[in-house]
Amino acid sequence: MSTAGQVIRCKAAVAWEAGKPLSIEEVEVAPPQKDEVRIKILFTALCHTDIYYWECKGYTPLFPRILGHEASGIVESVGEGVTDVKPGDHVLPIFTGECKECKHCLSEESNNMCDLLRINCDRGVMLADGKTRFSINGQPIYHFVGTSTFSQYTVVHIGQVAKINPTAPLDKVCPISCGICTGFGATVNVAKPKKGQTVAIFGLGAVGLAAAEGARICGASRIIAVDLNPRRFEEAKRFGITEFVNPKDYDKPVQEVIVEMTGGGVDRSVECTGSVQAMISAFECVHDGWGVCVLVGVPKKDDAFMTHPLNLLSERTLKGAFYGNYKPRTDIPMVVDKYLNKELGLDMDKFITHSVPFADINKAFDYMLQGIGLRCMIHLDA
CB 188 within 8 A of CB 210: no
Each residue's pLDDT tens digit, 106-125: 998 887 899 999 999 999 99
For residue 339, which of 149, 163, 181 has the smallest C-alpha distance? Answer: 181
272 carries an active-site annotation? no
Catalytic residue among 25, 36, 70, 98: 70
Task: Note the pLDDT of residue 2.
Answer: 85
Catalytic residue among 121, 178, 218, 293: 178
Angle between helices 276-284 and 254-262 (to 10 degrees): 20
Element (H, E) at 55: helix 48-55
CB 283 within 8 A of CB 269: yes
Catalytic residue among 38, 65, 69, 268: 69
Q: Which of 28-37, 79-88, 340-349 has the lowest mean pLDDT?
A: 340-349
Calculate the average pLDDT of the chain.
96
DSSP 8-class letter at 299: P
Tens-place pLDDT, residues 149-165: 999 999 999 999 999 99
Give the Cβ contact number of residue 28 at 10 Å: 18
Q: What is the pLDDT of residue 59?
A: 82
- Candidate list 99, 218, 272, 293, residue with the active-site label: 99
256 is catalytic: no
Residue 1 has pLDDT above 70, yes or no: no
Q: Is 101 among the residues known to form the active site?
A: no
- Find the mean pLDDT for residues 261-288: 97
CB 87 within 8 A of CB 163: no
User: How does pLDDT run across 303-321, given as a tens digit for each residue?
Assistant: 999 999 999 999 999 999 9
Active-site annotation holds for 118:
yes
109 CB-contact burial (10 Å; exposed 0-12 / middle 13-18 / buried 19+): exposed
Q: 87 pLDDT band (50/70/90 cuts)? A: very high
Whether 178 is a known active-site residue: answer yes
Distance of CA 311 to the CA centre of its chain: 29
The Cα 382–Cα 378 span in angstroms is 9
158 phi and psi angles, rounded to 5 deg = -55, -30
**121 is annotated as an active-site residue:** no
Cα–Cα distance, 380 to 74 (Å, whole number): 12
pLDDT band at residue 280 under the 50/70/90 scheme: very high
Phi, psi of 167 (to 5 degrees): -85, -10
Percent of the chain at pLDDT above 90?
A: 92
Say what the pLDDT of residue 373 is: 87
Whether residue 238 lies in the annotated active site: no
Find the mean pLDDT for residues 168-195: 97
Q: From CA 189, how far away is CA 296, in angstroms rounded?
A: 13
